[in-house]
């Protein structure tokens, strides 16, 4: 009876219905996401007590100035940017032919199998995959063994190892949007292009590329942002390499200096905002 | 529809709530009780313990490894335990509260005492305290001004491990990882923590006596800079730093690392048989862990009972053997057959170990004419060393 009365009350009141539906998720987004982020940013302007490590609310720009002036943070930022850019480029170069084959060449049965094959690694734990790469890159690992007859050696633990491992980890996130992009390109456009005398390369550059550009950019956002924030992979296969995430982690953990950690995290946040702004200018965000 | 003024005051109200909640996070709690107890009362029923992995085993990880059930049977205190990975993580957890007992290494204890997070321990109340090795009692990492803050649990040294196939002749000095590290460029390893700066200081104590270092945890600015320089030079030859001991085991088994600092338990775990450990002539750093009681403990009686129980020879032997370190209880070796590996009770060996101590501005070696570099600076320098 009461259920009936409630629905009778709500039926003509569309706004109340919408409010009832949205309040919980919006409050969740607001509190957990926006407020947490704001608290993080404000913390960057606080300080800590040297001995006890308690955060003290004394306003200071010391942390932010330190992050933007000291050579350590500049070096690590450039290294992190370089790694993220390299991972993004490698992933896009590998993903485009794979996605093209999946969307346009493979028959439907093979396509399903390929989609499963691309997504399957996501079911395995991140750590298992990174430790597998640690074994691969090791001095007596598979890469060194396979390369030995060709006179090649394993790159070992270091920046090259980090780039290889991250490229592997984020590849599914780049293939899937590009695959969806190719899927949206109608076959008849390719046929029309061929009928008009265009060779494969011309068709690819003049017809297909403009249509899948938003998909490539979407994939690059995943690879770039995920690489920018990573700190576990670099700890396992990076040798002595430090990335921005490691600096944040040591300041939260070992140094117990939350304000400095918050100040360092401003760097990747700033970079990602710049990247998204650049992407927005290309108009790619609208067509996602 | 709210009127503009009402809306503004609502907004101001929201803003002040937001500011108040921001202000609330991070303010220190005060009024905790750091005085030692005078007697042990009735058991409260549960005790919450924060410890290194392998220190509080109730059989859930390995059915044959269980010393918690015996404690619960004897005292009626149920044990709730949590493990941590680094001293720094433990410090954060202790700040958040909710633990009665903590097993702390020497690089953590002074910080806990300084922040009033642990209380003094009346060792007269503990029957088994007498059986603890004398050379572990009343040390700078477990006592302040003669007041004890806990019961020693076990100790070990950060040894030098090397691959016998590659490193020849067998090293007797830390110079293989410092001045001569280039012989094994790319295959040197080091412990990934600011406290490793003390290892460089131990080496400088004998190679650069002019610096006048008398305690590797009490470094003035000049001494500290020399240690940092040494580590920056070392970094060129380091293959990787380790903090996860499983990672180091794997790196030595695969040959990615051939020489570097290690723990006895790592040597015991390596199955390839081509590694050796040595305590170099310069001495070494090490750790000595202490069971402490939180100043805001909800179950202080059960906490005292745990401290007494874990210090008993049989349990101390079982727990330290499982972790791979020397026991603190003299009689514990009656229950262990591997005490020789760990040089348990060998006071001469123990004297060569500089146990982890938190570096603070007030020099722990007693100097008053200079200010020492504190742990916050050590952490910062460690990030710069790694670059």
User: Do residues B221 and B191 both lie within one domain?
Assistant: yes
Q: Which of A27, A53, A252 to mutate to test the interface with B (most CBs of B within 10 A)?
A: A53
Shortest CA distance to B203 belongs to which of B249, B261, B244? B261
3-state helix, strand and coil shares in percent for chain A, rounded to the nearest 5: 75, 0, 20
User: Do residues B167 and B249 both lie within one domain?
Assistant: yes
The per-residue pLDDT for range A84-93, each reduced to its tens digit, is 999 999 999 9
* Tally of structural domains, chain B: 2
Residue A50 has pLDDT above 80, yes or no: no
Q: What is the pTM of this model?
A: 0.79
Residue A199 has pLDDT above 60, yes or no: yes
Do residues B172 and B279 make contact, with C-beta atoms less than 8 angstroms apart? no
Q: Is A52 on the interface with B (CB under 8 A)?
A: yes
Nearest to A138 among B27, B254, B376 (CB): B254
Packing angle of the helix pair A209-229, A244-252 (nearest 10 deg): 30
CB contact under 8 A, A256 and B91: yes
The pLDDT value recorded for residue B22 is 40
Phi, psi of A175 (to 5 degrees): -65, -45
The pLDDT value recorded for residue B11 is 43
User: Do residues B379 and B319 both lie within one domain?
Assistant: no
Question: If you average pLDDT over every residue of chain A, what do you get?
Answer: 89
The pLDDT value recorded for residue B29 is 36
User: Do residues B312 and B364 both lie within one domain?
Assistant: no
The pLDDT value recorded for residue B23 is 39
Q: Is A256 on the interface with B (CB under 8 A)?
A: yes
Residues in chain A: 288
Distance between A269 CA and the closest CA of chain B, angstroms: 21
Q: Is A56 on the interface with B (CB under 8 A)?
A: yes
The pLDDT value recorded for residue A198 is 87
The pLDDT value recorded for residue B234 is 95
CB contact under 8 A, B379 and A52: no
Q: Is A128 on the interface with B (CB under 8 A)?
A: no
B166: in domain = yes
Q: What is the mean pLDDT of residues A54-59?
A: 82
The pLDDT value recorded for residue A288 is 57
Q: Mind giving me the DSSP string for B190-239?
A: EE-SGGGHHHHHHHHHHH-GGG--S-TT---HHHHHHHHHHHHHHHTTEE
B322: in domain = yes
Do residues A164 and A91 make contact, with C-beta atoms less than 8 angstroms apart? no
Between residues A277 and A151, the one the model is more confident about:
A277
The pLDDT value recorded for residue B65 is 85
Residue of A nearest to B387 (CA): A72
Q: Is B108 on the interface with A (CB under 8 A)?
A: no
User: Do residues B207 and B249 both lie within one domain?
Assistant: yes
Distance between A50 CA and the closest CA of chain B, angstroms: 7
How distant, in Å, are the alpha carbons of A82, A219, A234, A280, B331 from that of A275? 14, 13, 23, 9, 65
Residue of B nearest to A247 (CA): B383
B37: in domain = no
- Does ipTM exceed 0.90? no
User: Do residues B229 and B373 both lie within one domain?
Assistant: yes
CB contact under 8 A, A255 and B111: no
CB contact under 8 A, A254 and B88: yes
Do residues B50 and B81 make contact, with C-beta atoms less than 8 angstroms apart? yes
**Cα B24 → chain centroid:** 31
Maximum C-alpha span of chain A: 81
User: Do residues B134 and B50 both lie within one domain?
Assistant: yes
Q: Is B380 on the interface with A (CB under 8 A)?
A: yes
The pLDDT value recorded for residue B13 is 42
The CATH T-level fold of domain A66-282 is MetI-like fold (1.10.3720)
Q: What is the mean pLDDT of residues A56-76?
A: 89
Q: Please report, for the domain that includes residue B227, its CATH number.
A: 3.40.190.10
The pLDDT value recorded for residue A286 is 66
B22: in domain = no
The pLDDT value recorded for residue A256 is 75
* Blockwise average pLDDT, block size 10, chain B, 387 residues: 41 41 38 69 90 86 87 93 82 89 91 90 92 88 90 91 93 94 93 92 94 93 96 94 86 93 85 91 91 93 94 92 87 86 81 86 86 88 91
B268: in domain = no
B227: in domain = yes
Q: How far apart are CA B300 and CA B297, in angstroms?
A: 6
The pLDDT value recorded for residue B54 is 82
A253 contacts in B (CB within 8 Å)? 86, 88-89, 92
Q: How far apart are CA B324 and CA B154, in angstroms?
A: 9
- Exposure of B40 by Cβ count < 10 A (0-12 exposed, 13-18 middle, 19+ buried)? middle
User: Do residues B64 and B140 both lie within one domain?
Assistant: yes
User: Do residues B151 and B221 both lie within one domain?
Assistant: no
B16: in domain = no
**Cα B9 → chain centroid:** 52
Q: Where are the domains of chain A?
A: 2-43, 66-282
Distance between B86 CA and the closest CA of chain A, angstroms: 8
CB contact under 8 A, B23 and A72: no
> Which residue range(s) make up the domain with B212?
159-262+360-386
CB contact under 8 A, B91 and A51: no
CB contact under 8 A, B92 and A256: yes
User: Do residues B87 and B136 both lie within one domain?
Assistant: yes
% of chain A exceeding 70 in pLDDT: 97
User: Do residues B52 and B148 both lie within one domain?
Assistant: yes
User: Do residues B230 and B298 both lie within one domain?
Assistant: no
Shortest CA distance to A103 belongs to which of A183, A203, A178? A183
B213: in domain = yes
H helices, E strands: number in chain A: 15, 2
The pLDDT value recorded for residue A255 is 72
Nearest to B114 among A42, A51, A238 (CB): A51
């Amino acid at each position: 009876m009461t259920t009936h009365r409630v629905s009778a009350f709500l039926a003509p009141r569309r706004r109340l219905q919408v409010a009832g539906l949205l309040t919980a998720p919006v409050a969740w987004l607001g509190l957990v996401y926006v407020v947490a982020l704001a608290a993080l940013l404000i913390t960057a302007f606080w300080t800590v007590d040297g001995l006890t490590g308690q955060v003290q609310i004394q306003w200071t720009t010391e942390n932010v100035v330190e992050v933007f002036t000291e050579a350590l943070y500049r070096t690590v930022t450039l290294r992190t940017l370089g790694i993220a850019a390299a991972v993004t480029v490698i992933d896009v170069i590998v993903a485009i032919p794979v996605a093209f084959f999946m969307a346009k060449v493979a028959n439907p049965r093979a396509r399903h199998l390929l989609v499963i094959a691309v997504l399957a690694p996501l079911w395995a734990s991140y750590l298992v995959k990174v430790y597998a790469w640690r074994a691969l890159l090791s001095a007596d690992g598979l890469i060194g063994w396979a390369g030995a007859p060709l006179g090649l050696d394993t790159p070992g633990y270091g920046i090259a190892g980090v780039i290889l491992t991250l490229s592997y980890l984020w590849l599914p996130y780049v293939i899937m949007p590009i695959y969806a992009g190719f899927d949206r390109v109608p076959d008849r456009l390719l046929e029309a292009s061929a009928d008009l005398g265009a060779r494969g390369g011309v068709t690819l550059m003049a017809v297909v590329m403009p249509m899948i550009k938003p998909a490539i950019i979407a994939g690059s956002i995943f690879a770039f942002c995920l690489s920018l924030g990573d700190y576990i992979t670099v700890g396992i296969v990076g040798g002595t390499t430090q990335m921005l995430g490691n600096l944040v982690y040591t300041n939260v953990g070992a140094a117990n200096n939350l304000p400095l950690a918050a100040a360092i995290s401003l760097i990747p946040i700033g970079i990602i905002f710049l990247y998204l702004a650049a992407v927005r200018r290309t108009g790619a965000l609208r067509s996602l | 529809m709210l009127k503009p003024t009402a809306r503004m005051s609502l907004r101001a109200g929201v803003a002040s709530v937001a500011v108040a909640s921001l202000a609330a996070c991070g303010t220190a709690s005060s009024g905790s009780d750091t005085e030692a107890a005078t007697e042990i009362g009735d058991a409260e029923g549960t005790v919450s313990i924060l410890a290194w992995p392998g220190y509080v085993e109730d059989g859930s990880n390995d059915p044959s490894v269980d010393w918690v059930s015996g404690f619960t049977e004897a005292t009626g205190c149920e044990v709730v335990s949590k493990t941590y990975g680094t001293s720094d993580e433990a410090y954060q957890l202790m700040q958040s509260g909710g633990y009665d007992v903590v097993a702390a290494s020497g690089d953590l204890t002074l910080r806990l005492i300084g922040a009033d997070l642990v209380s003094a321990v009346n060792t007269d109340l503990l029957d088994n305290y007498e059986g603890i090795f004398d050379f572990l009692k009343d040390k700078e990492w477990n006592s302040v001004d003669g007041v004890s803050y806990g019961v020693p649990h076990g100790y070990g040294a950060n040894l030098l491990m090397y691959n016998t196939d590659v490193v020849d002749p067998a090293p007797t000095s830390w110079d293989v990882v410092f001045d001569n590290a280039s012989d094994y460029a790319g295959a040197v390893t080091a412990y990934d923590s600011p406290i490793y700066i003390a290892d460089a200081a131990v080496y400088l104590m004998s190679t650069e006596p002019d610096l006048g270092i008398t305690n590797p945890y009490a470094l003035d600015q000049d001494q500290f800079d020399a240690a940092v320089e040494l580590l920056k030079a070392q970094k060129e030859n380091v293959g990787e730093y380790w903090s996860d001991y499983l990672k180091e085991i794997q790196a030595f088994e695969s040959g990615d690392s051939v020489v570097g600092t290690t723990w006895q338990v790592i040597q015991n775990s390596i199955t390839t048989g081509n590694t050796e450990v040595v305590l170099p002539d310069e001495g070494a750093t090490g750790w000595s862990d202490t069971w402490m009681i939180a100043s805001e403990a909800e179950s202080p009686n059960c906490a005292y009972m745990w401290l007494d129980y874990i210090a008993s020879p049989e349990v101390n032997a079982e727990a330290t053997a499982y972790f791979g370190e020397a026991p603190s209880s003299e009689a514990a070796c009656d229950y262990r057959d591997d005490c020789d590996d760990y040089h348990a009770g060998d006071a001469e060996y123990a004297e060569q170990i500089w146990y982890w101590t938190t570096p603070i501005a007030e020099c722990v070696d007693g100097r008053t004419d200079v200010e020492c570099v504190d742990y916050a600076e050590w952490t910062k320098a460690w990030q710069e060393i790694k670059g």
